Amino acid sequence: MEAQQLTTLTGVIDKKMNRQLKQYMDICARCAICKDACHQYVGTGDFTYLPARRAELIRQIYKKYFDKAGRFVPALYEARDPDENLLDELYESTYACTGCRRCMYYCPFSIDTAWILSVAKAILIAAGRGNEMLGQLADAAIFKGDNAAMFEGVMLSGFEDISEEVRAITGNPEHQVHVNKEGADILYVALAGAHSIRPAAVIFEEAGESWTISMFEAANYGYFYGDAEKARLITKRYIDEAKRLGVKEIVVPECGHAYRVAEIFYEAWSGEPMPFKVSHILEKVDEYIKAGRITVDRDKIDGTVTYHDPCQIGRNGGVFDAPRDIVRAVTSRFVELTPNREQQWCCGGGGGIVAMEEFKDVRLKSGGKKVEQLKASGASVLACPCENCRLQIEELNEVHGLGLEVWQVIDLVVAAMPFKATPEADAATM
């Protein structure tokens, strides 16, 4: 292959090299125990999606250019150049991966395939083969951040509309979405959609929380795209905002990767310690319920309710109990999916895959395990605090005719809250 390109691509590995990556490259025994862990391999039987195979592509380059034995006898390791053939397969296996790390959970050496694939993404981007859609979404987010003033008008009018809706729900004319409130305790960094703001605002206002909304969203397509610099810029927007407003805590919404990005990745990208406490909104809601700051009536929700642990919040984020306690507070008919918690099957919708039309086939096939689990649970309502999971499960719901209602957890909470009905509220909802 072309020398210039080769230097560029091996340079990426060199720059990304670290102890864990090196060990993952050196120790994998290719035992393929990971095969039954991966929802995509299980769902498709396609070798491309075998976790060890995804990592093996990077290992083949590593062996050829970074390992003494591999340089000496490349044939022994099938070591090879990052040529077009390799990049074709790498693109397919890397951008399809949802980053759930279920393979790491079962690997006897705890090899983090998703971490290896973060290098794969950097290589693909350097080769001009980064996923176009994710790249565009990342660029659009960065553009919004750089030109915040341009969008302030529409954002503010959007927040005002949501404030109206909040007042209609709670019946309290004082309730609102706080914007640019200096000295608030909490900066709530939501998603762009109103569905992520409205119920949160209801809960914060009813709990009497000192909060303010971020002008930016928590979703980070730079992270999915695999460009650490873009990802850093996207997250930095709300970190700077939090600093400017002088808040004590950043609260992220019902979104899988947003929590992990803020809690775990941002420090590595920015090289500075995260200056704020990062909480998931469900940790706050759980606190409010337990402290009696908000009231929920049990069993206002019809049907049996189950809960899906989003991989980035559960296995990769460590929030297992708060959402369960909340769901149990609103219903007495709670059932678990099996397996659950850290062994939870990925639904197949993570890693930005729902935005990439080209992976629709494998995405739907990879949801097979989730469909089985949902059917076996007998639940009619699913609570799930991750946008990507919900999009995927709603689609599976339709395709497989599961007849499931898919809810955000905060929507369940709002539906279970008793509100003082006031004439204004009645008028507004009519």
Partner 1 sequence: MSDDVKVDLELDLKGLLCPLPMVKVSQNITNVPVGGVIRAVATDPGAMADIPAWAQSTGNEVLSAEKEGAEFVFLVKRLK
Partner 2 sequence: MDTYLWITSVAGVYVAGVVFVAGIGWRIYEWATTPKSPVRLGMFPKPATTGGRVAKMLTDTLVAPHAARIEPRMWFFAMMFHVAALAAFVGHLRIVQEYPLLPDLLGAEGMNAFAAWAGGIAGTLMMIAVLYWIGRRTFGPFKNLSVPEDYLLLALLLGVIIMGNHMRFFGHVHAAEYREWFQSLLAFRPHVPDAISNSNVGWSLGTHMLFVNALLIYFPFSKLVHTIGSFAANYARSE
Q: Which is nearer to partner 1, 6 or 391 (CB)?
A: 391
State the binding partner of 351 from partner 1, partner 2, none, CB within 5 to 8 A by kind: none
Of residues 277-336, which lie at the interface with partner 1 (CB under 8 A)? none
CA angle, 319 as apex, 285 and 189 as ends, to 5°?
55
Q: Which residue, 119, 122, 117, 125, is CA-closest to 98?
A: 117
State the binding partner of 248 from partner 2, partner 1, none, CB within 5 to 8 A by kind: none
Q: Which is nearer to partner 2, 46 or 185 (CB)?
A: 46
**Residue 357 interacts with partner 1 (CB under 8 A): yes or no:** yes
Write down the least CB distance from residue 118 to partner 2, Å.
8
Among 21, 34, 141, 203, contact with partner 1 (rule: CB under 8 A):
141
**Residue 257 interacts with partner 1 (CB under 8 A): yes or no:** no
**Residues across the chain:** 430
Of residues 162-181, which lie at the interface with partner 1 (CB under 8 A)? 162
Cβ–Cβ < 8 Å for 30, 52: yes
| Residue 187 CB contacts under 8 Å (≥ 6 apart), including other chains | 211, 212, 213, 214, 238, 241, 242, 245, 247, 249, 250, 251, 276
Distance CA 279, CA 263 (A): 8
Among 85, 136, 295, 338, contact with partner 1 (rule: CB under 8 A):
136
| Residue 12 CB contacts under 8 Å (≥ 6 apart), including other chains | 119, 122, 123, 126
DSSP string, 294-344: S---TT-S-S-EEE---TTTTTTT---HHHHHHHHHH-S-EEE-SS-GGGP
Q: How many of the chain's residues bind partner 2 (CB under 8 A)?
A: 53
**Residue 155 interacts with partner 1 (CB under 8 A): yes or no:** yes
- E strands, 46-112, are none
Among 9, 61, 96, 104, contact with partner 2 (rule: CB under 8 A):
104
Beta bridge partners of 213: 179, 188
Of residues 248-307, which lie at the interface with partner 2 (CB under 8 A)? 264-265, 267-268
**Residue 21 interacts with partner 2 (CB under 8 A): yes or no:** yes
x/- site string to partner 2, residues 306 to 325, per CB under 8 A? --------xxxxx-x-----
Write down the least CB distance from residue 362 to partner 1, Å.
17
Contact residues: partner 1, CB under 8 A? 133, 136-137, 139-144, 147, 150-151, 154-155, 157-158, 161-162, 191-196, 217, 219, 221, 354-355, 357, 387, 391
